[in-house]
Chains A and B, each alone.
Chain A
Amino acid sequence: MNIRKNIAISENGFIFNPLTGDSFSVNQTGVFVLQKLKDGESNENILKALQDEYDLDTYTAEKDFYDFLSMLKSYQLTENE
């Protein structure tokens, strides 16, 4: 899953989707994940980085990460490869 190329993500967590006109706010963890997705990093690498950055166990990291991905999808912020 990729983040749509034209999605704008600001440093303070404001996201704008120019396709739909929707805007969202995410916390620092959200920005962390979104930036890595936008840079094209694999899910495995992001999960690893998430665990290292926030000192998480595998189960919690995976659960939160995939929850976040499904939310991004439901808000049309992603596109299929």
Chain B
Amino acid sequence: MSKRKITVGVTGLNNIDSPGPGIPVIRALKESTEFDVRIIGFSYETLEPGIYMHELVDKVYQLPLPTAGSAMLKERLQYITSIEKIDVIIPNFDAELHSFIKLQHQLKSELGIATFLPSHESFEERQKSELNKFGDKYDVKVPQSHMINQLIELKKLEEELDYPMVIKGRYYDAYIASTYEQASSYFYKIVAKWGYPVIVQEFVTGTEVNVTAIGDGKGKCIGAVPMRKLYITDKGKAWSGISLEDDKLLEISRHVIENSKWRGGCELEFIKTKNDEYYLLEMNPRFPAWVYLANGCGQNHPEALVKMALGEDVQPLTEYESGKMFIRYSYDLIVDISEFEKISTTGEI
């Protein structure tokens, strides 16, 4: 059977020590059994390694930073589509999703670009700051969380929460504090970097287990693969992991995806306690950087997402292999300065 030729735009080319999911998504798409995929990479910075991985990325265009807003993004995509025919875009950064969700209908009707994104409501309700409500609504255990704006509130929380506590930024960063002194120091560190509010969370002891999943937006979980990190970098990123066979974890994950009518890829981060209880720590609204493991286990989630974006029916992927490992590595690309010059000056390569 000949493969269908399509062009897919992908962000998250920052294949660095805290990697974006772009390159793993592209690798999965390149291994699609149904599509012959041409990849348009979208970059934000000129040193994102994916820009220079020509065997995976066919053409690269720089996008305006998410802080520039959706109008700038649309303008840039209008320019790009005057050159390229893009069938589907897969955004891979949390920060850019607002703009893509806002523009999704215009992208389809005006530029012919399909996406497969969660609704604005689904995106918002799984924000870290809404975790308690999310847990109640979808009947999943979550660690007790509080949002604070002043340090004095932390003192009051000591009546409800024991140390260690987790001090988290609204979007990124998390620190484990064993004393009030540590907690207050992390509070200021997070405020300086991410602003208010700061999230103070109960520390749940156990093993971290994660699930990469995809939902059809109508209440069906199209695929889910659980993984445990085997090697974690000092940035808390998985440098190695292994797929698990954990029916209870899959059941909880499917329950969340189905009941929240999640549309698109996502990552669910859990802590499994000694008593085999699962606490949902976070739901990330896009594929994780380890999504290529799902493909290695027999579930090609990026391919399924592209099919759904194109309006095709996808049957749930229920089988996968446990005991498959991913082992990340670093690799030096040798790049001529002319390539760096081209992306730096023209914003495309």
Contacts and interface: CB of A to CB of B under 8 A. Distances in A.
Interface stretch (B76-84, B240-248, B259-267, B330-338): B240-248
B18 interface: no
Interface in B239-259: 241-246
Contacts of A19: 244-246
Contacts of B245: 6, 18-19
B323 A20 contact: no
Contacts of A21: 227-228, 230, 241-244
Given A20-B207, A21-B228, A8 B323 contact: yes
A32 interface: no
Interface residues of B, number: 12
Q: Is the interface of A mostly helix, strand, loop or mixed?
A: loop
B323 A18 contact: yes
B7 interface: no
B160 to A, nearest CB: 31
A22 to B, nearest CB: 9
B32 interface: no
Contacts of B132: none
Interface in A5-62: 6, 8, 16, 18-21
A81 to B, nearest CB: 18
B205 to A, nearest CB: 15
Interface residues of A, number: 7
B99 interface: no
Contacts of B228: 20-21
Contacts of A8: 323
A19 B323 CA distance: 9
Contacts of A16: 323
Nearest to A16: B323
Residue among B228, B241, B243, B323 with the highest chain A CB neighbour number at 10 A: B323
Nearest to A19: B246
A15 to B, nearest CB: 11
Contacts of A18: 244-246, 322-323
Contacts of B243: 21
Contacts of B246: 18-19
A39 B227 CA distance: 29
Contacts of A6: 245, 322
Nearest to B321: A18
A16 B246 CA distance: 13
Contacts of B244: 18-21
B172 to A, nearest CB: 26
Interface in B218-247: 227-228, 230, 241-246
22 contacts: A6-B245, A6-B322, A8-B323, A16-B323, A18-B244, A18-B245, A18-B246, A18-B322, A18-B323, A19-B244, A19-B245, A19-B246, A20-B207, A20-B228, A20-B244, A21-B227, A21-B228, A21-B230, A21-B241, A21-B242, A21-B243, A21-B244
Given A6-B322, A18-B246, A20-B228, 10 more contacts: A16-B323, A18-B244, A18-B245, A18-B323, A19-B246, A20-B207, A20-B244, A21-B230, A21-B243, A21-B244
Interface of A: 6, 8, 16, 18-21
Interface of B: 207, 227-228, 230, 241-246, 322-323
